[in-house]
Amino acid sequence: MSIQNVAVIGSGTMGNGITHVFALYDYTVQLVDISDNIIQKSINIISKNLDRQIGKNIIDETKKKSALNNIKAVVGIEKINYDTDLIVEAVSENKELKLSIFNKLDDIIKPESIFATNTSSISITELAVKRPEKFIGMHFMNPVPVMKLVEVIKGYSTSLETFDKIVRLVKNLDKVPVLVNDFPGFVSNRVLIPMINEAIFALHEGVADKEAIDTVMKLGMNHPMGPLQLADFIGLDICLDIMNVIYTGYNDSKYRPCPLLKKMVAANKLGRKTGEGFYKY
Ligand code: NAI
């Protein structure tokens, strides 16, 4: 069975980016969310992002039209086609919500289809309660139409056949799949978030001020953005949640979240989304 018919569940930041890419590469995509209003807003964002690609001469008007034609709005997971080859779940980062969705889908979708999750921190193995051999992590990066990497995460029981199919699919989307095993934070967040946490410790302990810390990492390590600026961009609440997943997942004090990070989240200084984090917006 080759993958042609995809359903992306959740049309938020990640869901609309993932849908954009599948539609552009001629897959049929059912874009699923809880209301038509939310889905239409997401399709408008996709349309604007396609325009941006036209402006950069990456695609033309005909390609945009065919991409939008490949997207079908679906309200509620019950309405997803039985014949769907692949589910890519991108709903909010909540384990119970994700589990309940896969539970229901198992009764609705043909048994051969693959279940993938875009979770950034929840264990793939713990989510793979239904059809564990056909369950896999597909961790796209934000913004999806721009970023090349997809971490392909094997759960404990993910079959080689499932893994191979997803690797081929990711290459067909002109992205680069990287094999990762199922451990807290995978690779991307295991390395990135503790680095951000360490930068916050450096600020907390008075090693340097925030501009100095960001400048060292930008000019000294060639990072496009300093770690504190990046934390504001990601959201300090998200950084804290992921840090806690890694800390409890490994039971290792080296991953303890910095007290300053906890305090800022408690004060609702979450970064760009609340207008203030380490910097003001
Ligand atoms: P978001 O909050 O922007 O979007 C979530 C969407 O899911 C919303 O549109 C919501 O209405 C929808 N939803 C909730 N319950 C639903 C249900 N029962 N049926 C259908 N749709 C439902 O979230 P975002 O940022 O797109 O994150 C989605 C997933 O991707 C999370 O697991 C997150 O950890 C992961 N992720 C996020 C990244 C980011 O930079 N935002 C990067 C990589 C992964």
Q: Could you tell me the CATH number of the domain that includes residue 203? A: 1.10.1040.10
Q: What distances in angstroms separate CA 225 from CA 124, 135, 232, one per listed residue?
A: 30, 34, 11
112 in catalytic set: no
Query: In this model, does residue 48 exceed pLDDT 90?
Result: yes
- Type of residue numbered 210: K
pLDDT digits 0-9 by tens, 169-210: 999 999 999 999 999 999 999 999 999 999 999 999 999 999
Query: In this model, does residue 1 exceed pLDDT 90?
Result: no
Closest Cα partner for 128 from 97, 98, 172? Answer: 98
Q: Tell me, what DSSP letter sits at residue 137?
A: E
151 in catalytic set: yes
- 77-97 mean pLDDT: 96
Residue of the nearest CA to atom 14 in ligand 1? 91
Task: With cut-offs at 50, 70 and 90, classify the pLDDT of residue 277.
Answer: very high
Tally the C-alpha atoms within 13 A of residue 46's C-alpha that lie toward its C-beta: 32
Judgement on whether residues 26 and 138 belong to the same structural domain of the protein = yes
Judgement on whether residues 49 and 144 belong to the same structural domain of the protein = yes
CA distance 136 to 39: 25
Amino acid 46: pLDDT: 98
Tokens of 124: 């793939």
- 247-258 mean pLDDT: 97
Final residue of a structural domain among 149, 180, 211: 180
Judgement on whether residues 24 and 104 belong to the same structural domain of the protein = yes
223 in catalytic set: no
Ligand 1 contact via 69 beta carbon (within 6 Å): no
Judgement on whether residues 193 and 71 belong to the same structural domain of the protein = no
Judgement on whether residues 19 and 120 belong to the same structural domain of the protein = yes
Query: In this model, does residue 278 exceed pLDDT 90?
Result: yes
Rg of the Cα trace of the chain? 20
Q: Which domain holds residue 251?
A: 189-274
- Type of residue numbered 189: N
Tokens of 38: 């939310």
Judgement on whether residues 85 and 203 belong to the same structural domain of the protein = no
CA distance 185 to 193: 9
Q: Tell me, what DSSP letter sits at residue 278?
A: S
CA distance 18 to 241: 23
* Cβ pair 159, 134 in contact under 8 A: yes
pLDDT digits 0-9 by tens, 205-250: 999 999 999 999 999 999 999 999 999 999 999 999 999 999 999 9
Residue 261 belongs to a domain: yes
CA angle 85, 118, 214 (to 5 degrees): 150
120 in catalytic set: yes
CATH code at position 105: 3.40.50.720
Closest Cα partner for 170 from 195, 151, 196? Answer: 151
* Cβ pair 136, 86 in contact under 8 A: no
Q: What percent of the chain has pLDDT over 90?
A: 98
Closest Cα partner for 152 from 173, 129, 80? Answer: 173
Tally the C-alpha atoms within 13 A of residue 127's C-alpha that lie toward its C-beta: 31
Ligand 1 contact via 150 beta carbon (within 6 Å): no
Judgement on whether residues 233 and 141 belong to the same structural domain of the protein = no
Amino acid 261: pLDDT: 98
Tokens of 156: 């404990």
Final residue of a structural domain among 125, 153, 180: 180
A 10 A CB-CB count for 219 gives 10
Ligand 1 contact via 151 beta carbon (within 6 Å): no
CA distance 137 to 98: 13
**Residue of 118, 120, 123, 197 marked active site:** 120
Q: How many domains does the chain divide into?
A: 2
Ligand 1 contact via 208 beta carbon (within 6 Å): no
CA angle 68, 65, 46 (to 5 degrees): 40
Judgement on whether residues 96 and 52 belong to the same structural domain of the protein = yes
Amino acid 130: pLDDT: 96
